Structure 1
Amino acid sequence: MRSVVYSKPGDSSVLTVVERPLPEPGPGEVRVRIVTSGVNPTDWKARAGGTYGDGLPFPEVTPNQDGSGVVDAVGPEVDDLRVGDRVWLFMAASGRPTGTAQEYTVVPAERAVPLPDGVGHDVGASLGVPAMTAHRALTTHEHGPDRLAPGALSGKTVLVAGGAGAVGHAAIQLARWAGATVVSTISSDAKAALATAAGAHHVVNYRDDDAADQIRQIAPDGVDIVVEVSIPQNAQLVAEVLANHGVVSIYANNGGDEATLPIRPNMSVNARYQFLLLYTIGDEALAAAAADVTAALRDGVLPVGEDAGLPLTRFPLEETAAAHDAVEGDAVGKVLIEVGEE
């Protein structure tokens, strides 16, 4: 089978396409024939040394955590999946040497989630890191739900920073599905159009001098949940619009590794700042996110494509390096690698 690998950290030039033996699933594992692989910032950052430093946890690594495909073989002790099942994958390369940038991959069965009928592999490969991160960000409020479903966020106002990004896109869709009023901050008319297409009820340009006033007009009592991509940049704005007992769910360090928080405004509303990393949130939270995301898929939520607010950029497997470069270059929307046929 064709597989994209690297054996040392570095820029995208360390990625090469090679032939490797077909892997066999062990106990509790399934082999999936990959149709589409999804690329996230975590993938190029791990390859570049941002996760493992100067070394690698394995002599050879195949990148990409997310993907979508068809179960091709089932190992012992797997009861819930069968050969031929369509599945979406998450954390395929977490703690393992091989991700989804190859024709076949082996994963623990719990990381292969049935893809509902009628949902395409483009959608399946766009879930994983973005959708599950968004789910976690929306379920950390002190007085909010720990699961998402229609009505779970009724009466809540959610502010999604960077609604044109993959996590922001999923957060908008899931929050609206769960009944929240959704506001998204954006930086341009083009990104406002994407956030609106994703389902945001309101968009505000965070560069406007009166951005906080605009958000307060929408949510006079403040914002309950902030899905935050750049707290170093947005700390002051967030503090001005947060509701009493509001939570700021921080899932990325865009804008730098340090932020200055205004103390009095946050103290006065009993603010909670919740940092989150998908890879360490625990099996219970991962299982809940996978189940709720799949329920949303069955309800027709989480479409992708420009009309749905998430433009797609596609590359063949042989151009995985270019796909990584596109994500590193902040390509708008979702970058996918076309690996095989349905």
Structure 2
Amino acid sequence: MRAITYSRYGEADVLELGDVPTPHPGPDSVVVRVKAAGVNPVDWKIRQGHLDGLLDIQFPVIPGWDVAGVVEEVGLDTPEFEVGDEVFGYVRKDWVHAGTFAEYVAAPVRTLAHKPAALSFEEAAGVPLAGLTAYQSIHRAGVREGQAVVVHGAAGGVGSFAVQIARTLGARVIGTASEANHEYLRSLGAEPVTYGDGLSDRLRELAPDGVDVAVDFAGADAVAQSVPVLAPGGVVASVVDPAARDEHGGHYVWVRPDSDDLEVLAELADTERLRVEIAEAFDLADAAAAHRTNESGHTRGKVVVRV
């Protein structure tokens, strides 16, 4: 099968298109014929060697954790899926080796769910890692109806999902973003605010009584800017800054594959409560360009690769 691989750490030019063996399913796995794969910052951070020692990485690596496709073959005990089922998933395994930038991927059933019918394969491929990160962060922080929630990095792939999920729970959402993305945030149901110096003061103006929850998908000083405006009993969560947990008693979130959570996201998409914005779609042969685009940090929505 065709796949993108790399055999050493480096910039995007280490990515190569070539032929590798087609995978076979394990007892609790299925083989998915890949229609599209999502690109996430973790993909190029792994490629650059930043997660060496944190993850078990086995060269040559096929990158990619997000997938949308069709079940091609089932394992010995996979009653959840049948051949021909359309699925999507966050196919993170215990080691980094055989990812989703390929024509086929073997995926444990715990990493998959049935694809939302309302989404194209490209849109569905943009959901799993970012959508699960948003969903699990929002729920870890205990967001509920009537709360004031600030989402840092609200126009990005994860942040835009977090805005929508928090709104479905009945929360008031304030989203930080550049002014160019303020109208987009309003369309998602958030009140936009510009990030940068003086953010704490601007948040205080919007929420004089403080915010109940701050979720950080941006890094930099987002946690430090949030803590002064938390209401009594307020909670801060971050996927970037462990200080949220270690210094402020909140949560540091590392997203987990979870088929039940994916089913919730699928239901939100099918009931038009979760929308997916695709920034750009690339062919598999142009995976290096897809990585570079994601690395730029200036995209709104998701970058995906068509297979």
The two structures have a TM-score, normalised by structure 2, of 0.91
Identity of aligned residues (%): 32
Instruction: Identify the residue that residue 156 of structure 1 maps to in structure 2.
Output: 147
Letter in 2 for 1:215: L
Give the superposition deviation at 1:325.
1.1
- The range that moved more, 83-92 or 167-176, is 83-92
Give the superposition deviation at 1:4.
0.5
- The range that moved more, 68-77 or 15-24, is 15-24
* Matching of residue 240 in structure 1 with residue 228 in structure 2: yes
Aligned pairs for 1:62-81 within 5 A: 62-81=62-81
Give the superposition deviation at 1:206.
2.5
Give the superposition deviation at 1:174.
0.7
Instruction: Identify the residue that residue 173 of structure 2 maps to in structure 1.
Output: 182
Q: What are the Cα deviations for residues 136-185 of structure 1, in whole angstroms up to 9, with x where unaligned? A: 211123xx36xxxxxxx211111001111111011011111121111101
* Matching of residue 301 in structure 1 with residue 273 in structure 2: yes
* Matching of residue 194 in structure 1 with residue 161 in structure 2: no
Query: Would you say the 8 A contact 1:160–1:185 is kept in 2?
Result: yes
Letter in 2 for 1:291: E
**Structure 2 alignment gaps of length 5 or more:** none
**Structure 1 alignment gaps of length 5 or more:** 146-152, 264-270, 306-310
Instruction: Identify the residue that residue 150 of structure 1 maps to in structure 2.
Output: none
Give the superposition deviation at 1:272.
3.1
Q: Tell me the distance in 2 between the aligned counterparts of 1:218 and 1:7.
A: 50
* Matching of residue 335 in structure 1 with residue 307 in structure 2: no
Query: Would you say the 8 A contact 1:9–1:55 is kept in 2?
Result: no
Paired residue total: 305
Q: 1:277 aligns with which of 254, 259, 278?
A: 254
Instruction: Identify the residue that residue 83 of structure 2 maps to in structure 1.
Output: 83
Structure 1 residues 252 and 25, CA gap change in structure 2 (3 angstroms): same
Q: Tell me the distance in 1 between the aligned counterparts of 2:243 and 2:29.
A: 40
Q: Tell me the distance in 1 between the aligned counterparts of 2:56 and 2:108.
A: 21
Aligned pairs for 1:97-176 within 5 A: 97-141=97-141, 144=142, 153-176=144-167
* Matching of residue 219 in structure 1 with residue 198 in structure 2: no
Instruction: Identify the residue that residue 203 of structure 1 maps to in structure 2.
Output: 192
Q: Tell me the distance in 1 between the aligned counterparts of 2:212 and 2:286.
A: 42
- The range that moved more, 117-126 or 161-170, is 117-126
Could you say which structure has the higher strand fraction? Answer: 2
Letter in 2 for 1:179: G
Q: Tell me the distance in 1 between the aligned counterparts of 2:93 and 2:122.
A: 19
How large is the RMSD of aligned CA atoms in angstroms? 2.4
Query: Would you say the 8 A contact 2:56–2:96 is kept in 1?
Result: no
- Runs of 4 or more above 6 Å deviation: none
Give the superposition deviation at 1:53.
5.5
Instruction: Identify the residue that residue 292 of structure 2 maps to in structure 1.
Output: 325
